Homo-oligomer: A and B are copies of this chain.
């Protein structure tokens, strides 16, 4: 397969996978494009490659920067801004885990804390089932939280070598 074709297919599929992960299609495509580009690209180059509008590129790049997946790069002598993506997939994953933990797991745990004790008859089966469900989610979340923290703090080599040995 030729590079151009493979690249197009990768960008497209990364876009589809992105939608499964709560990331919008275009944002994922821009991310994919920047990951496979050896050099930083300008907004115009991204527009050109993906055939999308300036506003779209601008907003999605800003969100990628917000997620910590893309960086602004200044090229000496150039007026335009250029952008580049983190290439180390381990760092990409770590960054995504960190952000999603902050955006999703933390608020959920907060809510479980609030819903933990409901008034009323502890023997009522509905009160009981509710409390058990909330508690189960809370305990599970705390374990997940700990595990993700360690994963995020660990560096790739430590993680892969020791965890994978453990999980042989």
Which residues of A are at the interface with B, using a C-beta cutoff of 8 A? 1-3, 6-7, 9-10, 13, 17, 19-22, 35-39, 87-90, 93, 100, 103-104, 108, 111, 114-115, 117-120, 124-130, 132-134, 136-137, 139-140, 143, 146-147, 150, 160, 163-164, 166-167
Top 3 nearest A-B pairs by Cβ distance? A38-B125, A38-B129, A89-B136
Q: If A20-B103, A22-B21 touch, does A164 touch B137 (CB 8 Å cutoff)?
A: no
The residues of B that contact A39 with a CB separation of less than 8 Å are 125
- Chain B nearest Cβ from A155, distance in angstroms: 14
> Which of A13, A108, A137, A167 is most buried by chain B, counting CB atoms within 10 A of its CB?
A167
Q: Contact: A140 with B37, CB < 8 Å?
A: no
Kindly provide the distance from the CB of A142 to the nearest chain B CB, expressed in whole angstroms: 10
Task: Tell me the nearest residue of chain B to A39, going by C-beta.
Answer: B125
Q: Are B20 and A120 in contact (CB under 8 A)?
A: no
| A117: chain B residues within 8 A (beta carbon) | 1
Q: How far is the CB of A19 from chain B (nearest CB, A)?
A: 7
Q: Determine the chain B residues whose CB is within 8 A of the CB of A7 once the complex forms.
A: 130
Contact present for A126 and B89 (CB under 8 Å): no
